[in-house]
Chain A
């Protein structure tokens, strides 16, 4: 992969709503799990709709906001060129074809759901899916090394959150508004200039 040394001046623009729709469909269809990696490649290196620096900035905002990062990202890029219609075109591209595929997969599964081999295969895939989510957590946890809270506080807050959610079955709102607020306030104090 050649280093991308582009400047904002040779940045391209999406040509039309259809262009946005197709670009995000192509992007989504390549994304088995690791959509972020595919998004960087398609948007920065192939389409040249943004530089690497801009990608990082947009991604940070997509993460701050609720909702799936990649969905937020697509609507922000669509909106940048074409406003609300652009956001909707990008969102539709991201979701519509994958939605049809996932439904076909589900229909296929429900037809054969009683077949013991298929049930077994789904058990196996379910176990792998759980492992993928753990792995995502483990990968992201490396970012906590540079968190202003420090590693011990991060572990304490994470453990409290896990116990509350899994063992005590707290509704998510208590976790986010309670522990989340504590965590954000502590971070705010540590960030004091």
Chain B
């Protein structure tokens, strides 16, 4: 059984959740996945609205489904709603997190698109784009790390870490479709190998 925290979400809690996602949206340079460490800090560590297992399974399910990875944000909202007791709350939570993460970034992108086209050779634009490179890449590493360290028992969990490392190497260097690896991970886990 997943030890889900059972919640009483008050309207002010939903509002804080919405505001936090509006704010994460503005910060999500390089994609919403780069804000996953911050979501984990806020939702799991600080507010206790989600368990560690719910957080990492939300990301895994969104990766397994087709479509943009941003949908893990929908699942996080959905799970917060479920923890507070009903499917209606889950749908509400989904709307809160998805509109929160999408409205600011989409509006900014829409407004900036034409301006960016006309000024893509400006030094400041290039400095921003290239300067954020190492930060954005490092945040991807941090996200992977937080997913792995949800399984923190080295004696028991080392096969999982090995699977993560092998996946990273195969996708980085090889041409295997990532669906095969997700399927392989599911099979290994099903039979208790990892």
A residues neighboring B (CB under 8 Å): 28-35, 57, 60-72, 75-76, 79, 84, 87, 91, 94-95, 97-99, 101-103, 105-106, 109-110, 113-114, 117-141, 143-144, 147-149, 153-155, 157-159, 161-162, 165-166, 169, 171-173, 175-176, 179-180, 183-188, 191-193
Contacts and interface: CB of A to CB of B under 8 A. Distances in A.
Give the residue among B27, B60, B108, B116 with the most A Cβ atoms within 10 A: B60
Given A28-B68, A130-B164, A125 B105 contact: no
Contacts of A29: 66-67
Contacts of A188: 123-124, 127, 131
B29 interface: yes
Interface of B: 1-2, 23-33, 35, 37-38, 41, 45, 56-71, 74-75, 78-79, 82, 94, 98, 101-102, 104-106, 108-110, 112-113, 116-117, 120, 123-148, 150-151, 160-161, 163-172, 177-179, 181-182, 184-194
A180 B131 contact: yes
Contacts of B129: 60, 63-64
Give the residue among A97, A110, A144 with the most B Cβ atoms within 10 A: A110
6 contacts: A68-B28, A68-B32, A137-B137, A161-B142, A165-B37, A180-B135
A4 to B, nearest CB: 21
Given A183-B132, A188-B123, A66 B137 contact: no
A63 B30 contact: yes
Given A113-B2, A149-B133, 16 more contacts: A32-B179, A33-B69, A66-B29, A66-B105, A67-B102, A98-B67, A123-B151, A127-B160, A127-B194, A128-B167, A131-B144, A131-B171, A144-B134, A162-B138, A188-B131, A193-B123
B-side binding surface: helix, strand, loop or mixed?
helix
B131 A67 contact: no
A135 B60 contact: no
B135 A183 contact: yes
Contacts of B192: 120
B182 A129 contact: yes
Contact of B140 (A30, A136, A180): A136
B49 to A, nearest CB: 16
Contacts of A141: 137
A169 B59 CA distance: 20
Contact of A64 (B65, B125, B191): B125
Given A71-B102, A125-B185, A130-B148, A62 B190 contact: no
B182 A161 contact: no
A183 B129 CA distance: 10
Given A130-B147, A133-B147, A188-B127, A61 B27 contact: no
B110 A79 contact: yes
Given A120-B190, A131-B171, A154-B134, A105 B61 contact: yes
Given A125-B185, A128-B182, A172-B37, A184 B148 contact: no
Contacts of A171: 38, 41
A179 B137 CA distance: 13
A66 B26 contact: yes
